[in-house]
Amino acid sequence: GQSLEQPSEVTAVEGAIVQINCTYQTSGFYGLSWYQQHDGGAPTFLSYNALDGLEETGRFSSFLSRSDSYGYLLLQELQMKDSASYFCAVRAYSGGYQKVTFGTGTKLQVIP
């Protein structure tokens, strides 16, 4: 089976930097995605890492270490609108298909 772990809640100050960690256990690993979901809204795709290293997209960056089964999402210059839940999701080969399994999410609260 597959399992993912991420903190349930994180609080950070506006303008600061916050890191949301994700550890996973799976076989047939392909890559790690990150999604953002505002309260009452739908998840939206943020980033994907298939190889080790850092991927940067504006204020958001995502990191992957395949050897450590670990990744993180880094949010810089935090804004109030970044308050949302963030999900990591593992893409892995299972039963003939590449399946995606979501973590339970990290609720980020940005405070003034």
Which residues sit at the interface with other proteins, rule CB under 8 A? 8, 30-31, 33, 41-45, 48, 50, 87, 89, 91, 97-105
Tell me how far, at minimum, the Cβ of 73 lies from other proteins, in Å. 14
- Based on its alpha-carbon atoms, the radius of gyration of the chain, rounded to whole angstroms, reads 14
As a whole number of angstroms, the distance between CA 109 and CA 71 comes to 20
Least Å distance, CB 31 to other proteins, is 6
With a CB cutoff of 8 Å and minimum separation 6, the contacts of 81 are none
Of 40 and 112, CB closest to other proteins: 40
For residue 40, give every residue at least 6 positions away whose Cβ sits within 8 Å of its Cβ, in sequence order, or none. none
Q: Nearest approach, Cβ of 63 to other proteins (angstroms)?
A: 16
Nearer to other proteins, 30 or 60 (CB): 30
